[in-house]
Structure 1
Amino acid sequence: MKILHFSDIHLTTPGHTIQGRDPNASFERALGHALADHGDAELLVITGDLSDWGDRADYERLRDRLANLPLPIALCIGNHDDRPTFLDIFPELADPNGFVQSVRDVSAGRCLMLDTWEPQTHSGHYCEARLAWLEARLREHDGPFFLFMHHNPFPTHLAPLDRIGLADGRAFRDAVARHRDRIRHIFFGHCHLPLAGSTAGVPTTSLRGTNHAGIALFRERELLSSSDLPASYGVAFIAADHVCVHMVEFGYDGPVRTEGNPDYAAWNRETMVR
């Protein structure tokens, strides 16, 4: 089965751009590309920064657009969002403590959407109340589980990004460690970078997002780094014995070539196109 992973869509006032790209148009292009190639996906999850400034109008337009999609949707919020405004438009996504946390079942297991938003900061937070919600969800079901969140749950070793990562990451990783035999994968956004690693032994991946792109510039110690690399979305292929995650660079506008027969017998110096 498949799960589509979008992140950092950064919807904004129509006509406005971010780093020269129109995030509303980028989101539409991502949806069109993903549905054309992966219309059989069981779920689309968007892991935060739904709006660039947390504006009510962005969430209203998002709700209207998602209502017309032919597959189930799950949402997280990120540091650019505003929880109270978001919950005015999506009140059904509040957990009992007022956080944006929810559960979605797919044929491969149970997906948990986590809320790492905190007011007046770009850093992520996962407090005791949120940890208690996560622990309860992990204990009440046999799994397997797939976790979705906005902020990076481990250090990226890029100094500016790590200043706005998950501030209480150690406590979160400790919680994951207690249940890692039933958590198959963790998906996140926020960094606008393709990242892969593990969180307390659980495989973890991220991607650039559907509009503007970051770049791993390790020598820059103070400011976040951006680039003109293509926008992307993710698609996870999940089976009983593996998870395969692709970052699909739908924003790439260059040539795409089909060349090189995968049949080994067809590989020779005379006919191979190089």
Structure 2
Amino acid sequence: MKLIHLSDIHLTTPGNTIGGRDPRANFERALTHILRDHADAELMVITGDLSDWADRSDYEWLKARLQEFPLPVRLCIGNHDDRATFLSVFPECNEGGFAQGVKDIAAGRCLFLDTWGPESHAGFYCEARQQWLEQQLSESDGPFFLFMHHNPIPTHLAPMDAIGLHDDVAFRRIVGRHRDKIRHIFFGHCHIPMAGSTAGVPTTSLRGTNHASYVNFAETKMLLGSDLPESYGVAFIGEDYVTVHMIEFGYQGEIRSGGSPDYTAWDRETMQR
């Protein structure tokens, strides 16, 4: 089966831009690209930062737009969102007072986690949310797929880790207890492609559908932005594998087909054309 992962769409008032890019226009471009290449996907998940300023009008527009979209969609919230405002527009995402939930798909059970905290760009996973996750993982054999906004593992980029998941150790302990039935964890927030593992569970992230970050380990204070292409993710899930791609739908450069460059034009000794 196939599922689509988007993150950090950062919707704004129409005409407003971030980094010179129009988030609504780029979100629409992503949706068009997804339907062109992946209309057979079983589910699409957007892992947070749905609105750049948590404006109710952004959530209202998003709900109306997704009602027209032919694929099932589930949502998480991020640090740029506001839980109360989001849940007032998407009350179906409210479980126990948090923006969290469950959906079964052909490959297993998806859990959508709420890592939002008030007045902070960092992530939080309080005891109530930990208990909810523990209960969900305990009452079923899975397999499970977890979706969340904040990075559950260190990036080793100091400015990014300062706003990462502050309750990451407790979160990883829960994951570790159930890692045999959690197949993959998807997250956003960082605007960079990353792969690793959370307490032994494969974990991936990607750039957002609008603006991108940039990895520079020498920068210890400031978050960095770049003009790297807008992206979304696609995951192919089989019985004994998960393959995840980051699709750079915003790339504007040349795409060369097989056989290019023409190696008959290369000098074998100098390796120059």
On whether the aligned pair clears a TM of 0.5, the verdict is: yes
Give, in whole Å, the separation in 2 of the partners of 1:201 and 1:111. Answer: 18
Q: Give the whole-Å Cα distance in 1 for the aligned partners of 2:68 and 2:174.
A: 37
Describe how 1:1-274 pairs up with structure 2 within 5 A: 1-96=1-96, 98-260=97-259, 270=264
RMSD: 1.4
Give the share of equivalent positions with the same residue, in percent: 68
> For residues 114-139 of structure 1, what are the alpha-carbon distances to aligned partners after superposition, in whole Å with 9 as ceiling and x for unaligned?
00000000000000000111011111
Question: Distance between the aligned counterparts of 1:102 and 1:162, measured in 2?
Answer: 26
SS in 2 for 1:123: coil
SS at match of 2:69: coil
Q: Which aligned runs of 4 or more in structure 1 are off by greater than 3 angstroms?
A: 268-272
In structure 1, how many angstroms separate the alpha carbons of the residues matched to 2:95 and 2:42? 23
Task: Using the TM superposition, give the Cα deviation of residue 260 of structure 1 relative to its aligned residue in structure 2, in angstroms.
Answer: 2.6
- Could you tell me which amino acid in structure 2 is paired with residue 223 of structure 1? M
2:110 match: secondary structure: strand
Q: TM-score of the superposition, structure 1-length normalised?
A: 0.95
Which residues of structure 2 form unaligned runs of 5+? 267-272
Shift of 1:63: 0.1
CA distance in 1, matches of 2:114, 2:20: 29
Give aligned pairs, total.
Answer: 266
- Secondary structure of residue in 2 paired with 1:181: helix
